[in-house]
Structure 1
């Protein structure tokens, strides 16, 4: 009798163990299935300069590299306009929908995003020329807890040093500029400051329309030693015309960003089209994976020295070998 009871108990225990094992397996598989269902993210995207290829568009190109693909696990609410009221309304809508993150460029939209996201914990990643000088942040590590990003300015002084390396007698710089981006005025001020420190003269020609560009280039002083392109979309998108005029005068066209050696400039020292967006995408990826912006210092844009020897030859210029050895990119 006792033996039968023991056998029965053994069978019951075995059955219970099997049920328990099946329950564990089911729970594990269910957990894996839930884990494999990718979370859907909603990201606000503000680009007040949709004509440009760098920055915000680079962010979109690089996000899939981190596993965030539009139409798959990411939906973007895109505001692509210079209209400040439309941008403000767009940010208010993003805040109302409590998006997972906002990516924005240029000083006015970034200031709006900073103000409108206060107290919401909505992360903001920015791309802008001067975050400290515009009071968006106090320092790279001292910034609002929901804000971080990439600052562009900082390469101008070194760009001028590279100019003197390829053209030691340079004393006079010509700057055609359209104030069509938030960074245009800021980068001009930085250029003037840097030139003043090393004794270079700056002549500025403001260009408001495409039609004004050619007359401005023709007005270039005869003693001009180099043309410097700023963060100005209109002038940058017509870099070919600037280069053509400079070649006639056998002088280099240089830049600290926005347009670079790939666009035909003799020399550039600044970010590439894709590198800025890649930095912002990396920051965004960390945020979407759970890292607070408070623990992500603001970054300076990564800069590269690029030399275009084809343009240099067309201008009748000789680039010193020591400069070529230190260049990150050379078009021969």
Structure 2
């Protein structure tokens, strides 16, 4: 029978123990690895027509590697302009200590800033007008726990005016209807007045609380038979997207053959806006995704510059011609969409 030396036996046993320890170590390491962190995002859309911003935001997040149900969850709330409901939803997001709140538009952003102030919950806005609203300290240094994607309301208001002026060269009096007391209107008017005054154009403001009140004001203006208005121009505010209010404006424009411009919308009995200038809501939502990614990775919103959406121009060529005007070639060249 072969005899083994004691040293050989110990050497073999030591090798086996080493292999066993290595296997156990690998097993423990694989079992004890950190689990993938799941981020929770609360989303509040304050006007249903902005729902595209929310869906495109989530698409953008998916492209950045955030997979819903795996490493991120969304609590999406869509409300039709109801401040108390905004406040209740945002308060719940804060109490739930979500990792991020995404909000749109301006009014929701204001409420989110107020309710989240003093907490560790960051707020990301999109499609929000920031001029004169107190949402951020500045574009480059937003401050607090807020940053986002700016809606360039004053810039768009001036661009709408300039396009209207190009189409209606003899413009003297512009009627601007809007929701009475709506906070984002004044910064747009502040930008418009100096430009209009320099051209010798008079702005006629018509604030109203709803479609019925707007209709009554229009009838009062037309009581003498001639409202003495050369064009109707929309600014960014709720009546411009309210079907009842739009129908009133279109009926008034159609009856007196007053051209309408500023916001593109489906025609009402063959009469519609000559052009629209706005921000593509889906693009605004998608622009928010990289900002959200940075915030979730630990960057401070206070030092993340606000980004701005680009304007999107639509031209209703046939409507312009129907009213006896012409769309300059320079306008057609910069338009994103021309409907013929």
The alpha-carbon distance between structure 1 residues 2 and 252, as it changes in their structure 2 partners (threshold 3 A), is farther
Alignment of 1:1-332 (within 5 A): 5-6=7-8, 9-10=11-12, 12-13=14-15, 16-17=18-19, 19-20=21-22, 23-24=25-26, 27-28=29-30, 31=33, 34-35=35-36, 39-43=38-42, 45-47=43-45, 49-50=46-47, 52-54=48-50, 58-67=53-62, 73-76=72-75, 78=77, 80=79, 82-105=81-104, 109-127=108-126, 129-152=128-151, 153=153, 154-179=155-180, 181-217=182-218, 219=221, 222-238=227-243, 239-243=246-250, 245-247=252-254, 249-255=256-262, 259-260=263-264, 264-332=272-340
CA contact 2:56–2:283 (8 Å) conserved in 1: no
The alpha-carbon distance between structure 1 residues 150 and 199, as it changes in their structure 2 partners (threshold 3 A), is farther
Provide the rounded CA distance (Å) in 2 between the counterparts of 1:248 and 1:163: 20
TM-fit CA distance, 1:172 = 1.8
Spell out, residue by residue over 1:217-257, the C-alpha distance to the aligned partner (whole angstroms, 9 max, x if none): 553655433211122323433335534543565553222xx
List gaps (5 residues or longer) in structure 1: none
List gaps (5 residues or longer) in structure 2: none
The alpha-carbon distance between structure 1 residues 182 and 285, as it changes in their structure 2 partners (threshold 3 A), is farther
The alpha-carbon distance between structure 1 residues 99 and 194, as it changes in their structure 2 partners (threshold 3 A), is farther
Larger radius of gyration: 2
Spell out, residue by residue over 1:38-83, the C-alpha distance to the aligned partner (whole angstroms, 9 max, x if none): 614142x344x43x412x6522443133125766731416373655
TM-fit CA distance, 1:201 = 0.8
CA contact 1:249–1:315 (8 Å) conserved in 2: no
TM-fit CA distance, 1:125 = 1.5
Q: Which moved more, 1:77-86 or 1:96-105?
A: 77-86
- Residue 53 of structure 1 aligns to a residue whose secondary structure is helix
CA contact 1:181–1:231 (8 Å) conserved in 2: no
Number of equivalences: 322
Provide the rounded CA distance (Å) in 2 between the counterparts of 1:309 and 1:273: 23
The alpha-carbon distance between structure 1 residues 14 and 243, as it changes in their structure 2 partners (threshold 3 A), is farther
CA contact 1:137–1:144 (8 Å) conserved in 2: yes
Q: Which moved more, 1:129-138 or 1:300-309?
A: 129-138
Provide the rounded CA distance (Å) in 2 between the counterparts of 1:81 and 1:327: 31
The alpha-carbon distance between structure 1 residues 322 and 84, as it changes in their structure 2 partners (threshold 3 A), is closer
CA contact 1:155–1:270 (8 Å) conserved in 2: yes
CA contact 2:175–2:232 (8 Å) conserved in 1: yes
- Residue 253 of structure 2 aligns to a residue whose secondary structure is helix
Provide the rounded CA distance (Å) in 2 between the counterparts of 1:215 and 1:281: 44
- Residue 64 of structure 1 aligns to a residue whose secondary structure is helix
The alpha-carbon distance between structure 1 residues 98 and 194, as it changes in their structure 2 partners (threshold 3 A), is farther
Provide the rounded CA distance (Å) in 1 between the counterparts of 2:213 and 2:118: 46
CA contact 2:211–2:248 (8 Å) conserved in 1: no
Cα RMSD for the two superposed structures: 3.5
Provide the rounded CA distance (Å) in 2 between the counterparts of 1:295 and 1:40: 21
Q: Normalised by the size of structure 1, how large is the TM-score?
A: 0.79
The alpha-carbon distance between structure 1 residues 197 and 133, as it changes in their structure 2 partners (threshold 3 A), is farther
CA contact 2:109–2:125 (8 Å) conserved in 1: yes
